[in-house]
Structure 1
C-alpha cells in the first residue's frame, strides 16, 4: 500500500507545499505572497483562508486530487512543552495556536490548514518535529537568572532529518549515533543530538550571527541601547531579527551577493563573512563538551550551507572535533512528509495534543 501525503510549510512571505507518494515527490511549489497581498491582513491567522485557497489551487494545477490524500502534515508552529516527533492535530492544538499567549508566527497556520484540508476527507492531520520540541536535559535549562529558564528553540525538523540521513548512510539508526548539527539559514541554530534526542541547543538569538540576525550580544550593551532613548522596542527587535547580522554590516542578507563582493575585492565583506564562519565554529565547539567528545559527525545544513566558501572555513576550524558532513538546503517539506509516512506505516506514533 502506498500513501499520498500533503506537506504544508507556511512562512512569513510564502507558503511552501509538496505532495509525496511514499518517499517520491510528486510536486513541490513555493507560493510567494506579496507585501501588497499581506498588508490586507492584521494578524497572521487572518491569512488562513487565503493560504488554504492557494494550496488547493496549486494541487489542482498539478493534477493532485484531495480525495487521493492519505494524510496532511503541517509545520508545527510555536507550541511549547511538547516532545519531538509527531502529534495529531486536535481541537486543543488549534485553540492553542490562535491563543494570544502563543507567539504569533506564520508557521502556526501549518496545523490549522492541515486540519482544515484533512478533516472533511476523514484522514489524519499531523504536525512533526515542531520548533518548540523539548528534549533538553534539565541542566541545560538553567540560566544565571532564576526568573528565566532556557527553552529548546532550534531548527528541529531539518536538523533531525539530516541526522537521520547521515545515520542511515553509516548503516545505523539515528538513535545509535551522536551529532552536532548547525542549521545555517536566515537564522542559525546549533544543536547537540545524543542517541536520537536534542539534549542541548543554541538558538538563533543565542549564538552565531546570521545573514539577518544579530546572534548573541553582550547583555550590558543591549541594556544600554534599550534605555538610551534612541530606540523603541520594535526597533530593537528589528536590530536583533531582520536587520542584524550580515545585513547590518553589508546591506544584504544574500550570501551569494556577499561572495560576489568578496570576489570583487571587498575586504570588509570577506572579514564579516569569515567572522560568521568563526562564530558558527565557536557554537559547534561550545556544544562539543555536552556529548563529552563522543561525536560521530558534525552536520552543516540549511540554505546557507550551499556556500562552499563558508562551509570550508567552518570545516577548517572544527574538523579536529569530528568528521564534517555538508548537507545544503532546508529539506523541510521532505522532512515533514517523511515523518508522516513513518506514522502511517506504524513505525512511529503520533500523540493527540492536549493543552
Structure 2
C-alpha cells in the first residue's frame, strides 16, 4: 500500500503544499499570502494558526480527508546545527523552532505545522535535511580569524536529494560515493560530499564562495572593512549589500538570471562580463572542492534553477570536467525531496535522527 504524505514548505509570502503517494506527486499547490494578511502578525511564529487553518481549509475544499495521510513532512528551519537526515518533530524541535535559535525564518513554521496536523490525525511528523545541516570537517571551520568560524547554512535538502538520485542512477549508495554538488539558485552553494557527509561547503550565506543573483559571496575583506567604516552605510544596509542586494542585483539591477543571460546574448558587455564572472567563480569553487576530496571525485552534479540554462552549464563543464564527469539535474524539487526523506524512514531504509 502506498505511503500517502502531506508536504508543507512555508515561504515568506506563501505556503507550498505537496500530496504524494510514495514518490508520485498527486497534487501540488502554492497558497499565497498577501502582505496585508502577513503584516497582521508581529512574528513568524504568530502566523502558525493562520497558516494551519488555510492548509486545512484548502484540503477540505479539495475533498481530501486529512485523516487519509500516513505522514506529514515539514520544511526544516533554523535549528541548531545538525547532521543530515530525517528527524521526527519532537517537543525539542518545536521548542527551538519557536525560539528561532539561529534566527526567525518562515521555514521554522514547517515542522511546527507538520506536528500540529500530525497530532490531530495520530501520525508522525518529520523534517528532512534543513538548511542548518552541519557535517563540516574540523579544518573547514577555521576562517583565519579566531572570533569567526565558517558556518554551514546552505541548500542541503536539494544537494543531498540530487546526490542520492545520481547514486541510484548508477546502482550505488550515496554513502559510497565522493561527489561535488553545485546548487545554482537565488543563492549558490557548492558542497564536497564524502561518503554521505558534506564535509565542506561554499554557502554564500554570510560571504562565502561565488556571488549569486542576490548575494555578494566572498569579497576582499580589506575593502569590505573600509566600506563598513566609510560612513556611507548603516550596519543594516551593509548586511543587505551582502545578502539581498549583492551579486547580479548589485551589478545589473536584477536578480533574474534569465534577464542577465538575455542581456548578454543581446550584446550587453557588462551583463556578459558579470555572467562570465559568475561561471568563473562557481567553477573555481568546484575546483576547490576537488582538492578537499583529494582529487577522488566520482561525479560533479550541477542543480538548481539556473542549471536549466545550457549555456551556463556548458561553460562550467568546460572548466571542471577534467576533475570528473558532470551530470546536470536542473531545478530543485524540494517537495519530492521532503517526501523521499519520510519514505526512507517509514520503509526502514533509514533510521530517523534524534534532535
What is the TM-score with the length of structure 2 in the denominator? 0.96
Q: For the residues of structure 2 that align with 1:100 and 1:134, how far apart are their CA atoms?
A: 17
1:154–1:191 CA contact under 8 A, matched in 2: no
Q: For the residues of structure 2 that align with 1:265 and 1:167, how far apart are their CA atoms?
A: 40
Aligned Cα root-mean-square deviation (Å): 1.4
Residue in 2 that maps onto 1:313: 315
Q: For the residues of structure 1 that align with 2:332 and 2:152, how far apart are their CA atoms?
A: 19
Which aligned pairs between 1:142-157 and structure 2 lie closer than 5 A? 142-157=142-157
Note the alpha carbon deviations across 1:296-355, whole angstroms, 9 max, x for none: 1111101111122211111111111111111011111100000001111111111332xx
SS at match of 1:213: coil
Q: For the residues of structure 1 that align with 2:326 and 2:352, how far apart are their CA atoms?
A: 32
Residue in 1 that maps onto 2:340: 338
Give, in angstroms, the shift of residue 257 of structure 1.
Answer: 1.4
SS at match of 1:309: helix
Residue in 1 that maps onto 2:286: 284
1:17–1:29 CA contact under 8 A, matched in 2: yes
SS at match of 2:144: coil
Give, in angstroms, the shift of residue 100 of structure 1.
Answer: 5.3
Residue in 2 that maps onto 1:103: 103
Give, in angstroms, the shift of residue 68 of structure 1.
Answer: 0.4
More displaced 10-residue stretch of structure 1: 58-67 or 131-140 = 58-67
Note the alpha carbon deviations across 1:71-112, whole angstroms, 9 max, x for none: 111111111231110111111111111215431111111101
Residue in 1 that maps onto 2:126: 126
TM superposition outliers: structure 1 runs of 4+ over 4 Å? none
2:78–2:100 CA contact under 8 A, matched in 1: no
More displaced 10-residue stretch of structure 1: 78-87 or 116-125 = 78-87
Q: For the residues of structure 2 that align with 1:317 and 1:60, how far apart are their CA atoms?
A: 52
Q: For the residues of structure 2 that align with 1:112 and 1:228, how far apart are their CA atoms?
A: 43
Residue in 2 that maps onto 1:51: 51
Q: For the residues of structure 1 that align with 2:51 and 2:193, how far apart are their CA atoms?
A: 34
2:78–2:101 CA contact under 8 A, matched in 1: no
Q: Identify the match of residue 244 of structure 2 among 215, 218, 242.
A: 242
Note the alpha carbon deviations across 1:200-230, whole angstroms, 9 max, x for none: 1111230111011111111122211222221
Q: For the residues of structure 2 that align with 1:100 and 1:166, how far apart are their CA atoms?
A: 34
Residue in 2 that maps onto 1:17: 17
SS at match of 2:328: strand
Note the alpha carbon deviations across 1:138-164, whole angstroms, 9 max, x for none: 222122122222222221110011011
Which aligned pairs between 1:204-243 and structure 2 lie closer than 5 A? 204=204, 205-243=207-245
SS at match of 1:238: helix
SS at match of 2:132: coil
SS at match of 2:28: strand
Q: For the residues of structure 2 that align with 1:215 and 1:53, how far apart are their CA atoms?
A: 38
2:214–2:244 CA contact under 8 A, matched in 1: yes
Aligned residues, how many?
Answer: 353
Give ranges in structure 1 of 5+ residues lacking alignment: none
Give ranges in structure 2 of 5+ residues lacking alignment: none
Give, in angstroms, the shift of residue 67 of structure 1.
Answer: 0.2
Q: For the residues of structure 2 that align with 1:70 and 1:290, how far apart are their CA atoms?
A: 41
